[in-house]
Amino acid sequence: MENLILQDEETLKAIVREKYAQIARQSKAENEGSCCGSSCGCDTVDYSVMADDASQLAGYNPDADLALGCGLPTEYAQIKAGDTVVDLGSGAGNDAFIARALVGESGKVIGIDMTEAMLDKARQNAEKLGFNNVEFRLGEIEKMPLSSNVADVVVSNCVMNLVPNKTKAFAETFRILKQKGHFSISDIVLEGKLPEGMQNDAEMYAGCVSGAIQKADYLAIIKQAGFQNIEVQKSKKISLPEELLAKYLNNKDLERYNRNEFGIYSITVFAEKPCCEPGSGCC
């Protein structure tokens, strides 16, 4: 993909759809082995460099794991038997299947994704597993194909970065959650100013980096949406390959990066929807 100056929301969505449709047609091994791991000399984005290992979690399905996440939100999401769980940006279905192991036969899991190739892969995986309480719907996070107040829990794994309008995305998350429902979302945030070249490159956007915003701003959007009891459950700095950094950082910026003056972090955030709408005084 050519480097593009990011322009508008529809352009961003088209970039993401194109790249993730391509990834959906590859196996996990192909994604992990593609350029640009630490031993690779090319300078495109490695989509697996931020992924955590989910293989030890109940419900894990290797056919559904494309190594695209940056955390394990289902591990922190306090999912209970009988819950209705919504997975935002469900990809090939791995987090949805892990959630299904927690909700059991009495619960329900709904995955939402805007890439049809990913949905096809997820539905094929669900059919092979024989699950009748997991479904996958085509839709965008800023306008979810769901009624209000339907989810006990929302999870998402390294996807909100890919949403141009995060304010709308978290407002929609608030809308679909039941009162006292909650989310656990793993995502990429920044600490310190990202160099302009990295911020503007379309390939980096589809790899979840240049779509990242400052951690403080990210948490402020969550609070503005009406959530309470906001908690960062996990945080880790992402180590990017030298070949990748060399594409975007000059020597001065690389020194700043190595001194931790700015960095890219994976965080897992928890927050609750209050028992009534903000300002109504009913709680």
- Topology adopted by domain 9-272: Rossmann fold (3.40.50)
d(C-alpha 86, C-alpha 52), whole Å: 20
Highest mean pLDDT (candidates 99-108, 113-122, 197-206, 208-217): 99-108
pTM: 0.81
3-class SS letters over the chain: CCCCECCCHHHHHHHHHHHHHHHHCCCHHHHHHCCCCCCCCCCCCCCCCCCCCCCCCCCCCHHHCCCCCCCCHHHHCCCCCCCEEEEECCCCCHHHHHHHHHHCCCCEEEEEECCHHHHHHHHHHHHHHCCCCEEEEECECCECCCCCCCEEEEEEECCHHHCCCHHHHHHHHHHHEEEEEEEEEEEEEEECCCCHHHHHEHHHHHCCCCCCEEHHHHHHHHHHCCCEEEEEEEEEECCCCHHHHHHHCCHHHHHHHHCCCCEEEEEEEEEECCCCCCCCCCC
Q: Are strands 134-138 and 151-157 parallel, antiparallel or unpaired?
A: unpaired
- Structural domain boundaries in the chain: 9-272
> Of the ranges 146-155, 192-201, 241-250, which one carries the lowest mean pLDDT score?
192-201
For residue 72, name the pLDDT band (cuts at 50, 70, 90). Answer: very high
pLDDT, the chain, mean: 82
* Residue predicted with more confidence, 24 or 3: 24
Which tokens go with 243? 């070949």
Query: Residue 168 contacts by C-beta under 8 Å, 6 or more apart in sequence?
Result: 142, 143
State the first-to-last Cα distance of the chain, in angstroms, to the nearest integer: 51
Q: Are strands 177-191 and 213-214 parallel, antiparallel or unpaired?
A: parallel
Q: What is the pLDDT of residues 163-194, one digit of tens each?
A: 889 999 999 999 999 999 999 999 988 888 87
